[in-house]
């Protein structure tokens, strides 16, 4: 049997399904998993909790430099307000620079004695781990992603407005793709998959088939 990939870099916009896919890939191949978006959410959440403006670059960078593991356990990390704040702080070069070492250290030395890692985010294959053995980019239409986010918020007990969710996601897409620091784009050579019409199982099956086609000939 072929050995698992040492490093999988998985990128994509919000609600494209990369989080679910990353967790399943990690379990399937026995790898560690890091949701790098949680780091930016944690920064954004702390800034909001302390009553500061996420657009305050100096303060957000200071929070990023002092981020603690406990910050990743805040129950409000998945709230819509945190999502918007995360997108704002993620556009700040100093914040990204302060979180770079954390992410690369995880990739180089996966916790728990794991043989490798899956990192998902928005600049893993382009900036954080450009030498990753496997690079993936999952995306979906704005409408499909907004509907997924709407249902996710409903399931969490919120009372979202569809149009507001769509508008907020469109605004986040613009920030993520147009920012000067590590804009959201597929890495060169990445396997790009549109998940608009696919369920989680179909996405997983297609990606695993792709990964196995890359590792099997060389390591069988």
pLDDT tens across 159-199, in order?
889 999 999 899 888 888 887 777 888 999 999 999 999 99
Instruction: From residue 171, give the alpha-carbon distance in Å to each of 152, 166, 212.
Output: 19, 9, 36
- Res 1 pLDDT > 60: no
pLDDT, mean over the chain: 90
Fold of 7-213: Rossmann fold (3.40.50)
- Res 216 pLDDT > 90: no
pLDDT average, residue stretch 58-84: 90
**Nearest-CA neighbor of 193 among 210, 177, 176?**
210
Whole-angstrom distance, CA of residue 189 vs CA of residue 168 = 30
Question: What are the residue ranges spanned by the domains of the chain?
Answer: 7-213
Tell me what pLDDT residue 160 has: 85
pLDDT tens across 2-59, in order?
678 899 999 999 889 999 999 999 999 999 999 998 999 999 999 999 999 999 999 9
- pTM beyond cutoff 0.75: yes
pLDDT average, residue stretch 106-113: 92
**Nearest-CA neighbor of 152 among 163, 142, 162?**
162
Tell me what pLDDT residue 119 has: 97
């Amino acid at each position: 049997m072929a050995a698992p990939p040492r490093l999988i870099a998985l990128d994509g916009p919000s609600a494209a399904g990369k989080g679910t896919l990353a967790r399943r890939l990690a379990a399937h191949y026995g790898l560690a998993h890091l949701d790098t978006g949680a780091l930016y959410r944690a920064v954004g959440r702390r800034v909001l909790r302390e009553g500061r403006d996420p657009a305050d670059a100096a303060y957000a960078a200071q929070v990023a430099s002092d981020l603690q593991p406990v910050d990743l356990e805040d129950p409000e990390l998945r709230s819509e307000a945190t999502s918007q704040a995360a997108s704002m702080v993620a556009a700040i070069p100093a914040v990204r620079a302060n979180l770079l070492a954390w992410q690369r250290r995880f990739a180089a030395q996966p916790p728990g004695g794991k043989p490798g890692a899956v990192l998902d985010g928005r600049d893993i294959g382009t900036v954080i781990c450009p030498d990753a053995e496997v690079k993936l980019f999952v995306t979906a239409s704005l409408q499909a992603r907004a509907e997924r986010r709407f249902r996710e918020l409903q399931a969490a007990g919120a009372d979202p407005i569809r149009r507001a969710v769509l508008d907020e996601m469109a605004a986040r897409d613009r920030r993520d793709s147009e920012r000067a620091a590590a804009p959201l784009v597929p890495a060169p050579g990445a396997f790009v998959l549109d998940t608009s019409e696919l369920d989680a199982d179909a996405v997983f099956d297609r990606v695993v088939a792709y990964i196995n086609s890359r590792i099997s000939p060389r390591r069988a």
